[in-house]
């Protein structure tokens, strides 16, 4: 536990080492927030409800999504894949430390940094300019839990496409494909609630919605009581399944590496 904490601290510091990159990113998120908010507001001029979201929900979704985009690290993360590709993974294996545990702890240190320094600014700007919806204390608490699960689910997905590097000389195809699917099915491009019925149900059943749509729904109070608990449990379930899958794939990859070399 102490070790995980120490690793997490390095995860935070590694990103804190580049404050200007952070500032530039936060600025970009803010611009995109305005863009998306005005597009959605244009839609709501003709309708008052889309898939259970009113205009205020939709605008809140926009600014939450911009705040979470880096927290859940939805875009490319390839540190593990690069270490596999250049052979540094051998160095990692020569240490008494499990790579999955290491990278998860590192990511859980990174996420709060990005939440505070990439997420907060766009959200505050959005909150000043637009009329947003705020959660009840209980929903706020549930949101924090849900956001944590979202980070782990996202990590699980990223860990898997990175592990492809054990087998593929160029893992970037797999990565790009996965990111495209994640962007769409997580609700990043537009809320999962806007999808036609069948796709919406499918998206909610898949792990990708747990990366973004689930915490947004929790914040907006779209589930309560047992339904809320079940919602969080599904998210936690995906986190466990993806980590287990990652563990299995890593074991296969390591075995391939140690038995066949390369």
Partner 1 sequence: MIEVDALSKRFVVRRGRFRRERHMVEAVKEISFRVEPGELLGYLGPNGAGKSTTIKMLTGILVPSGGNVRVAGLEPSRRRIELARRIGAMFGQRVQLWWDLPLVDSFELLRHVYKVPADRHRERLARLRSVLDLDTFLQTPVRQLSLGQRIRGELAASMLHGPELLFLDEPTIGLDVVAKQRVRDFLLEINRQDGVTVMLTTHDLGDIERLCERLLVIDRGSLIWDGGIPELKERFGGERTLVVDLEEPLAPLSIAGAVVERVDGPRQWLRFRGPASDLTARVVGSARVVDLQIQEPDIEEIVRRIYAHE
Nearer to partner 1, 184 or 254 (CB): 254
Nearer to partner 1, 98 or 201 (CB): 98
| 49 touches partner 1 (CB under 8 A) | no
Q: Which of 137, 196, 225, 261 binds partner 1 (CB under 8 A)?
A: 261
CA separation, residue 31 to residues 164, 214, 245 (Å): 34, 24, 37
**Stretch binding partner 1 (CB under 8 A), from 3-11, 28-36, 171-179, 185-193:** 3-11
On whether the CB atoms of residues 163 and 23 are closer than 8 A, the answer is: no
Across 86-100, b (16+ Cβ under 10 Å) vs e yields: eeebeeeeeeeeebb
Tell me the closest approach of the beta carbon of residue 187 to partner 1, in angstroms: 32
Closest CA to 65 of 32, 109, 112, 16: 32
Closest CA to 77 of 110, 99, 118: 110
Tell me the closest approach of the beta carbon of residue 155 to partner 1, in angstroms: 19
| 94 touches partner 1 (CB under 8 A) | yes
Nearer to partner 1, 17 or 226 (CB): 17
Q: Which of 21, 82, 88, 141 binds partner 1 (CB under 8 A)?
A: 88
Tell me the closest approach of the beta carbon of residue 105 to partner 1, in angstroms: 11
Q: Which of 21, 39, 43, 97 binds partner 1 (CB under 8 A)?
A: 97
Judged by CB under 8 A, the number of residues near partner 1 is: 24
Closest CA to 154 of 132, 183, 126: 183
Q: Cα 25 vs. chain centroid, distance in angstroms?
A: 16
| 169 touches partner 1 (CB under 8 A) | no
Distance between first and last Cα of the chain = 33
| 80 touches partner 1 (CB under 8 A) | no
Tell me the closest approach of the beta carbon of residue 259 to partner 1, in angstroms: 5
Q: Which of 14, 56, 133, 223 binds partner 1 (CB under 8 A)?
A: 14
Give the Cα separation of 259 and 14 in Å (integer).
Answer: 33
| 47 touches partner 1 (CB under 8 A) | no
| 42 touches partner 1 (CB under 8 A) | no
CA separation, residue 72 to residues 3, 154, 158, 196, 232 (Å): 22, 6, 10, 25, 16
Residue recorded with tokens 């919406």: 200
Give the Cα separation of 242 and 262 in Å (integer).
Answer: 26
Nearer to partner 1, 88 or 136 (CB): 88
Interface ranges with partner 1 (CB under 8 A): 2-3, 6-7, 10, 13-14, 17-18, 87-88, 90-91, 93-97, 257-262
């Amino acid at each position: 536990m102490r070790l995980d904490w120490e690793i997490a601290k390095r995860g935070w510091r590694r990103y804190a080492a580049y404050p200007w990159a952070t500032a530039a990113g936060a600025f970009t998120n803010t611009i995109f927030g305005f863009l998306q908010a005005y597009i959605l507001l244009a839609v709501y001029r003709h309708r008052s409800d889309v898939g259970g979201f009113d205009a205020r929900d939709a605008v809140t979704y926009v600014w939450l999504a911009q705040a979470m985009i880096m927290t859940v690290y939805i875009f490319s993360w390839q540190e593990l894949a690069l270490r596999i590709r250049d052979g540094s993974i051998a160095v990692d294996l020569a240490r008494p430390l499990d790579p999955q545990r290491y990278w998860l702890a590192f990511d859980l240190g990174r996420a709060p940094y990005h939440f505070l320094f990439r997420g907060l600014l766009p959200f505050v700007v959005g909150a000043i300019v637009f009329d947003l919806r705020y959660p009840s204390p209980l929903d706020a608490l549930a949101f924090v839990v849900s956001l944590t699960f979202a980070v782990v689910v996202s990590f699980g997905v990223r860990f898997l496409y990175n592990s492809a590097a054990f087998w593929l000389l160029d893992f970037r195809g797999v990565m790009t494909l996965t990111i495209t699917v994640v962007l769409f099915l997580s609700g990043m491009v537009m809320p999962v609630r806007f999808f036609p019925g069948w796709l919406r149900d499918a998206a909610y059943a898949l792990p990708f919605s747990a990366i973004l749509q689930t915490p947004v729904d929790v914040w907006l109070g779209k589930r309560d009581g047992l339904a809320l608990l079940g919602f969080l449990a599904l998210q936690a379930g995906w986190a466990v399944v993806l980590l287990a899958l990652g563990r299995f794939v890593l074991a296969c990859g390591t075995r391939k590496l140690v038995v066949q070399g390369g």
